[in-house]
């Protein structure tokens, strides 16, 4: 299997794992599902030179924002999978281990903290939300789940190809 195909599969698998966590946590913890339409709106406004918003929900809606947001969400997961393989290389592809996957998963929490959340108007590391500590903890948990998803997807690919 080529590295690119492996990266695509584990990136999609890990992102889907993260999405399943979002579905499970809603009834368990009462936390609403992420609205990737707002991510799509934020990205779409960038094409007009607006990179930062006071509140993304108050910005003008953009046609196709949900598709843009979901596409960006999965492409980001694939990019983070590429980061994992780029750092740990072929050895991780042939023998996935949990440590590197969790390191990448947890490490990627800096992207929403320092880029997405400030750009969408909720401040650095969700500092402008009603409960920043809870928002930060949920981001950290979600990215940890993504790391587990990277590992599980890598392991599943190895299992499928060894049969």
Q: What is the pLDDT of residues 29-80, one digit of tens each?
A: 888 899 999 999 999 999 999 999 999 999 999 999 999 999 999 999 999 9
| Spans of all domains in the chain | 3-162
The pTM (predicted TM-score) of the whole model is: 0.93
Mean pLDDT over 138-148 rounds to 97
| pLDDT value of position 95 | 94
Please state, in angstroms and rounded to a whole number, the distance separating the CA atoms of residues 93 and 74: 20
| pLDDT value of position 161 | 83
């Amino acid at each position: 299997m080529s590295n690119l195909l492996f990266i695509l599969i584990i990136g999609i698998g890990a992102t889907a794992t993260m999405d399943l966590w979002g579905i499970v946590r809603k009834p368990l913890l009462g936390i609403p599902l992420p609205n990737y339409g707002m991510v799509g709106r934020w990205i779409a406004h960038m094409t007009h030179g607006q990179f930062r918003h006071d509140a993304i929900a108050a910005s003008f809606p953009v046609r196709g924002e949900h598709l843009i947001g979901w596409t960006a969400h999965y492409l980001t997961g694939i990019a983070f999978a590429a980061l994992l393989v780029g750092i740990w290389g072929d050895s991780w592809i042939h023998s996935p281990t949990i440590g590197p996957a969790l390191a990448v998963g947890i490490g990627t929490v800096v992207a929403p903290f320092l880029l997405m959340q400030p750009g969408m108007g909720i401040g650095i590391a969700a500092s402008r939300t009603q409960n920043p500590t809870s928002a930060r903890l949920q981001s950290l948990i979600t990215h940890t789940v993504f790391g587990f998803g990277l590992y599980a997807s890598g392991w599943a690919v190895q299992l499928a190809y060894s049969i």
